[in-house]
């Protein structure tokens, strides 16, 4: 999932970016409200974490402008203000939740998960399926043949990206950018290592749910083909 962080304090922004990436999210940062508005209206995000006191548009103004454009991006506001009227102003502008600084990172991630479950972000509403592999983006549960599969945050993010693009070949460069949030380095095999780990954990060596596309990268079989490979009738 892609998260937009809107925070002008580099220390806080870096802390949030690092922590959310370790949780398996793809994260982008905007240091002011105007840049955040441009990103939110031209790129696809699953949720946004927005500081109220930022340069340009304030966090409240940013949320209001997004709602005026009918952009239903789930927004968690961050602020050092704990007065009831400040919270009411943010929520009335269209924010979905409010977290007062200082906060525990675990609470922030829990609130993000709750937002995605409750509101159903554009990219997180439905269970993702391919063959007998199922993923619930809201709870982050992964099951194969009804049995739970334990994945690292990076493995989870990789599988999610593949499932969301089932049937579409994805280059290593695209995978690196969307899963690791960095540009592809031809000298690294980090994508291949993570793919191999996924195949092992999903017991996918024989079924070939995750396919190698020569000269390109990797792809997950379309739903119908994956169902046939798993011995299931397509939906």
List the strands of the sheet with 2-6, edge to edge.
26-30, 2-6, 47-51, 75-79, 97-100
Mean predicted confidence (pLDDT) in 3-24? 91
pLDDT for 165: 85
Q: pLDDT class for 235, splitting at 50, 70, 90?
A: very low
Helix (H) or strand (E) holding 225: helix 223-229
Q: Quote the pLDDT of residue 222.
A: 74
Q: Tell me: the pLDDT tens digits for 133-186? A: 999 876 788 999 889 999 998 899 899 889 988 888 999 988 888 788 776 677
Burial environment of residue 209 by CB neighbours within 10 A (0 to 12, 13 to 18, 19 or more): buried
According to DSSP, residue 221 is labeled P
Tell me the average pLDDT across 65-78: 93
Q: How far apart are CA 116 and CA 165, in angstroms?
A: 20
Domains located in the chain, CATH noted = 2-119 (3.40.50.2300), 128-229 (1.10.10.10)
46: left (phi over 0), alpha (psi -120 to 50) or beta: alpha
What's residue 14's pLDDT?
92
């Amino acid at each position: 999932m892609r998260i937009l962080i809107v925070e002008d304090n580099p220390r806080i922004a870096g802390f949030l970016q690092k922590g959310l990436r370790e949780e398996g999210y793809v994260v982008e940062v905007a240091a002011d409200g105007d840049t955040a508005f441009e990103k939110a209206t031209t790129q696809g995000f699953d949720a946004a974490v927005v500081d109220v006191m930022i340069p340009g548009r304030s966090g409240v103004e940013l949320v209001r402008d997004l709602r005026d454009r009918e952009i239903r991006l789930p927004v968690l506001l961050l602020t050092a203000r704990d007065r009831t009227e400040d919270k009411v102003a943010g929520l009335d502008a269209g924010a979905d939740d409010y977290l007062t600084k200082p906060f525990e990172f675990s609470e922030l991630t829990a609130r993000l998960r709750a937002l995605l479950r409750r509101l159903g972000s554009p990219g997180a509403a439905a269970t993702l399926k391919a063959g007998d592999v199922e993923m619930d983006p809201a709870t982050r549960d992964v099951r194969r043949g009804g049995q739970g599969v334990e994945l690292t945050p990076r493995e989870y993010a990789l599988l999610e990206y593949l499932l969301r693009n089932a049937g579409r070949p994805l280059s290593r460069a695209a995978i690196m950018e969307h899963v690791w949030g960095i540009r592809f380095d031809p000298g690294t095999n980090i994508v291949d290592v993570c793919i191999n780990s996924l195949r092992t954990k999903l017991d996918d060596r024989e079924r070939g749910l995750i396919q190698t596309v020569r000269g390109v990268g990797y792809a997950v079989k379309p739903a119908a083909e994956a169902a046939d490979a798993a011995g299931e009738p397509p939906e």
